[in-house]
Structure formats: structure tokens, C-alpha cells
A and B are shown apart, each in its own frame.
Chain A
Amino acid sequence: MAKRKKKGIDDKVEDLNLVPIMNLVVCLIPMVLVGTALVKLGVIPVNAPNFGTGKSQEQEEDNKPLNLTIGLGKDAIYLKAGGVTLSSIISDGDPSEDGGIKIPVLKPKEMRELTIGNTTVSKPYYFYNYPVLYQRLVQIKDRIQATYPKENTIKVSADKEIPVRHVIETMDLMRYHLCLPQCAEWRQDDAKGRVCAKEKPCEASDRKTEFANAAELKRARVYKEKAGEGEVEKPVDLWPVVIFAKVN
């Protein structure tokens, strides 16, 4: 400390200019928050359709494949199996021409308007009977258990105009067994009436094969089997492997 500069009392102390840093912080943070919060993405893995040429998934080398096919038509869902006559297994369904079963739509197709920003788009909606579809899928799985024990593949096809949205809704239903959680508390909603306020997790007894209507189906959850110590709960497969088939 040989020489110590004596600080003059009248030296002006400059304030740090924080405006650019605050710009950065106040503009960037909301942008990034909004960007990450907007869309929560998930994925659905699917298998390539077997067009007969090009690479595709290997066929399951079983003795006799069931070849269960679900077709989304304009006025009904058609279920068909290669190895079995479905209409003989499912006695309370609508039989369709080729031995399969048919699940008619609840209402004819409608166009709904959706306004995004300044544009209004018109989207087609087909009102498939999803509760009954789930019931049939579970019934088929139960009743062919003896003859086709390891079968878990389903082929999806649809009419040319069916929007992909319905294909994905159908695939959601087919993947796992569902359950309806019990309601611990009820509350009164002005618009909807009695609404479940607190759902309890699913037990084995909540596992459902039938949903009474679409509203009940909306409350469904994927049924997860309790595993032993140190294992993770796993969903129970219904028809998890989906292959897209060509429109016939």
C-alpha cells in the first residue's frame, strides 16, 4: 500500500445502466415461458402398413393369426377377424355382411366451426360410438383368449375421408384396459349438475368392460396393475400393437 489514491469527495459515481439487461429479462422470460407452456406433446408409436413392397414390420410368427381389423366407415365402425366369425362370438352386436360386427354411429357427420385468431375453419366430425366399441374390443379379447392366447395386434383402416383425429381417438381406446375411478367427493356444478370433485385411484374392482355413455368414458383412466415391491405399475394391454391397413 505504497500510495493510496485519495478519492475525491466530489467524484461523480455513475449509476449502472440496467435498461438493456432488464429488456432482455422482461422480454425473453415471458416469451420462453409461453413457448414451453403452450403445447404438451406426446407420441403414439405406430407400425408401418404392410403394402407388400418396401420395408415393414415382421409378422408375428404365430400358428394362426387372428387378423382383427377395425374399419372406420362413414356411418359405422366395422370389426372383422380373419380367423373367427365375430358375429358368432358377439351375440348381442349388429352383424355386418362379412361375418364381422358393425357399430353404427350415434349421429350423422357434422361440420363444426373453430375460430383461431382471425380465421374460422370448418372441421368434420364423425360421431362414433366409442363406449360400445370399447365394450366389443374387451369382449373379443376375452372370448378368443383360449384359441389365440398371445394375440395383441389389430389392423386399423378407415374410409378415405375420415380425419386422422378419429383414428387417434380409436387407437387410444384400443391400447390398454380402462377403469373408472371411484368418486370420493361430489360437488354441484351449475351447468352439469353433480360432478365428481375428487377421484380416487383405480382399484382392480374399478376395471370396466362397459361404459354406460360417452360422459362416463371421458372420466376413464388407464388401468394400471399394482406391481410387487420395487416394480413400476404397468398398464394392462388390450390391443396395443396397431398396424395401419390400406383402404379397401
Chain B
Amino acid sequence: MAEKREKTRDEIIADHVSAEKAKARKNRKSRRGLDGEATVTINSLMDAMTIILIFLLMNYSTDPLRVDTSAELQLPESTTEAKVEQSVALTVQSDGIILNNELIVEIKEGKVVGRPSDNPMKIPELTTALTDAATQQKERDRAKGKNFEGLLTLILHDDTSYELLLKVLYSAGQAEFSKFQFAVSAGGRFGFNDPAGSKDKGVFE
């Protein structure tokens, strides 16, 4: 502070002049483009993108159920408006049954591949896997202080035969899952839904 008061008028002018020169040099430098690049003010873009990114990541991670559709897993369409509840999810694709990213049994031509068991309605590998999942879910529920509801979310391929569906329901029932919810693609219309995009307007438009 003592220094400042003692600066003479000349020194102040000299400081000012050298600062202006430095500014001019900097401007020239940037205008000349030493590297051939143009500078862009992207501060606002970065702000917006960061906020969007954080918001989307939050949304993405709090979604209770995410389904990746493929040729083996096309969800049926429905007009339902009910919301997904968090629970154990079992996926029945056209080529296999998957629980927690593990293939339980394979399916060929609509039938389960494997040795036939004495009970034709039961798929033993599925019941075993589901019993384990039920035990884990019970522990999770106990930790949260809730009762085990026995709710199983079924993500079904839309061509799954009714016979296979019943077998899955029976096997799940053996593993103490008594309530089910089918995951479907919302926003369908009433009546016949043809995702194959038929142009047959005579019967179904």
C-alpha cells in the first residue's frame, strides 16, 4: 500500500502504456492465428451441456427398469398406464431365458432346451435361479423393513407362446413369486397391433 502512494505520475503512465501494449500484442497474436485455429467462446455451451448431462445421468440411473430391445426381444404393445415397480426382472427372449444378465435356459423354436423333467410344467433350472433371486430379494426387503411381496417383472418377447408363458409362471410360482407384472411397450392402441407395419387396411388400419 505504501508503494502505491509513492508512485509518481510518470510511473503510472508507464504502467498503463505497457499494459496496453501487452493487450495489443495478445490481440494480434490471437487474430494472426499462430496455429491456424479460431478461438470460440464455448463457455455457455459447456454450461448448458454440463447441466443437461448431469440431469440425464440422474434420470437414467433412477429408472427402475431398462430394456434393450433387439431382434430376439420385441416388447408387446399395450395401452396400460401403470408404472413400473422395482422388483426382480426375468427376461424371456426368443432364444433364451435370462435372469440378472445370466442365461438360465436356451429356447429353440419356442421350446425350452434341456432334459425333460417329471413335471412337464416346470423348468427346474429356472426355479433354482429364481429361488436364489427370491432369497436375495427377501434380504433386501428385510434390510428396508418391508415384507417380501413376491413380485416378479416379466419382460417377454411378443412371440412367446402361451404354453411357455404358463411354464414360466408355474416355475416362478414354485420359487415363491406369486405376483407378476408384464413389462410392455406403452402407448399402444386398442385392438390389433401390427409392428410389422402391414398395409392391409381392409381389416386393420
Q: Which residues of A contact B (CB under 8 A)?
A: 1, 9, 13, 15, 18, 21-22, 24-26, 28-29, 32-33, 35-36, 38-49, 51, 54-57, 72, 106-107, 112-114, 116-117, 119, 121, 123-125, 127-128, 130-131, 157-165, 167-169, 171-173, 175, 178, 192, 214-215, 217-220, 222, 244, 246-247
Contacts and interface: CB of A to CB of B under 8 A. Distances in A.
22 contacts: A9-B18, A21-B46, A29-B52, A40-B187, A41-B75, A42-B187, A45-B179, A48-B172, A49-B170, A55-B173, A55-B178, A117-B70, A121-B71, A121-B94, A127-B192, A127-B203, A157-B162, A164-B161, A165-B77, A178-B190, A214-B205, A218-B191
B158 interface: yes
A25 B170 CA distance: 47
A21 B49 CA distance: 10
B56 A25 contact: no
B193 interface: yes
Given A40-B186, A54-B173, A172-B188, 9 more contacts: A41-B84, A44-B78, A47-B180, A127-B203, A130-B190, A130-B192, A163-B159, A214-B203, A215-B204
Contacts, number: 227
B163 A161 contact: yes
Q: Interface centre among B78, B85, B121, B191, by most A CB within 10 Å?
A: B191
Nearest to B70: A116
Contacts of B56: 29, 32-33, 36
A32 B190 CA distance: 31
Interface string B1-27: 100000000000000001001100110
B59 interface: yes
Interface stretch (B60-68, B96-104, B136-144): B60-68
Q: Is the interface of A mostly helix, strand, loop or mixed?
A: mixed
B67 A172 contact: no
Contacts of B26: 13
Assign chain B's interface to a size class.
35 or more
Interface of B: 1, 18, 21-22, 25-26, 39, 42, 46, 49-50, 52-53, 56-57, 59-60, 63, 65-67, 69-71, 74-85, 94, 110, 121, 150, 153, 156-163, 165-166, 169-170, 172-174, 176-198, 201, 203-205
